[in-house]
Amino acid sequence: METPEATGAIVPSEVSPELLQPLVTVVAILGELGATPGDVPLARPAGSLRAGLVALVASIRRAMEHRHGDATRLRRALATAGATRATTEATTRATPVPPGDSIVPRATTGDAWATVAAVTREWREVVASVEATWATLAGDTEHLRDACRTAATAGATAGITPGHLAEAVKQEDVARQGLLVTTRALPVALEVATMAEAVLAHRTRVAEASVRLQAATEATEKMAVATVEAAVAAERGRRAAVADEPLGRLVAACHGATRFYCHLRRRLEDIEATVATMAAGHGGPKALGVAQEGPGVPKDLLAAVAVAEALWDASARLAKGHLLGTLRVARGLVATPGVPSATVATTVAQRCRDATAALPGLLPQGLQ
């Protein structure tokens, strides 16, 4: 499988609309491929280009319909952990607790941070699952592109042309004329004694001419089939060659979508590490050595969660508000092998342009 480094793709800044662009590009390219007339028969498992694209659409839909709301849970859990720490510290200052009982408020704070850790882990696992789906999609698209390249190469090297069939027909005509001449050349003998030999020789020549005609006829039939197959292969190769370039862009777009969720997953891994430290220290600020925002919640942690939530929320809003409906329309184009509707193809392209224009508004201005 190609890696982002191998494709030479430019990785956008950490929080920018460009991170979300590959999600839009995937749908736009599917509409472009669906707007191309005809289909390309391929080897299994795809069976054909359009069948392979329909399977890709189903997986893309699953990837875009990821669960939403985990970020809100994390913010609530963080708020609870901070409030719990503030309460226990205030209670401890107001009412000194004997050393043997000091574990009670610390355990309460630790439980709150353990909840934060669990929520963060669940969210990170969901993002990792979506990332894995896009990575698989990139691999499947590469296989589909490679199958099209194979079909294109086969079509270009078929080697059988109408001229070959014309030559076979010519040879058949020669054999047929030879049989007619041989048949009409009646046996002639000067003596009755040699008449039987002349008849036998004539029959032999006719039989040989008949065999030659039969062989020439079979050769013509085979050449006719081969010519048709070569023409079909050439047309299949032409269509496959046309699909190669957009399929290559689709591979790159799937890798781009993978990078987006990889970027988010790594952010969540950093958050998870910070939360683990907080949980281990029961929320003690000295455990991280970072500035605090409110009671026991590091500023850096709150900022990191805000960025992760913004990215996750933006991808969900992009899918729900723009892409899933357009993906359904694109699937209709992809699933129809006949002449596509120009109106429908234009609709998909325009919706994708609108989605691209909407990208900056999906992310808070302060994070871009």
3-state class of 337 per DSSP? coil
Give the CA distances from residue 245 to residues 6, 26, 142, in Å, rounded to whole numbers and listed in that order: 17, 14, 12
For the chain, the average pLDDT equals: 78
- In terms of DSSP H, where are the helices of 157-298? 162-184, 195-280
Average pLDDT over residues 158-171: 64
Task: Provide φ and ψ at 366, rounded to 5°.
Answer: -70, -15
Q: What DSSP state is assigned to residue 46?
A: T
CB 24 within 8 A of CB 301: no
Least confident of 230-239, 331-340, 351-360: 230-239
Predicted local confidence at residue 71, as pLDDT: 62
The whole-model pTM stands at 0.72
Percent of the chain with pLDDT over 70: 71
CB 231 within 8 A of CB 83: no
Predicted local confidence at residue 226, as pLDDT: 64
Predicted local confidence at residue 19, as pLDDT: 92
CB 272 within 8 A of CB 120: yes
Least confident of 190-194, 254-258, 293-297: 293-297
Predicted local confidence at residue 52, as pLDDT: 94
Distance of alpha carbon 118 from the chain centroid: 32
Predicted local confidence at residue 211, as pLDDT: 84
179 or 210, greater pLDDT: 210
Average pLDDT over residues 293-312: 80
Average pLDDT over residues 308-320: 92
Give the CA distances from residue 48 to residues 43, 144, 145, in Å, rounded to whole numbers and listed in that order: 7, 9, 11
Q: Does the pLDDT value for residue 190 go beyond 60?
A: no
CB 159 within 8 A of CB 227: no
Average pLDDT over residues 127-137: 95
What is the pLDDT confidence band of residue 203, given thresholds at 50, 70 and 90? confident
Predicted local confidence at residue 158, as pLDDT: 54
Residues in a beta bridge with 292: 298
Q: Does the pLDDT value for residue 245 go beyond 90?
A: yes
One DSSP character per residue, 338-354 reads: SSPPHHHHHHHHHHHHH
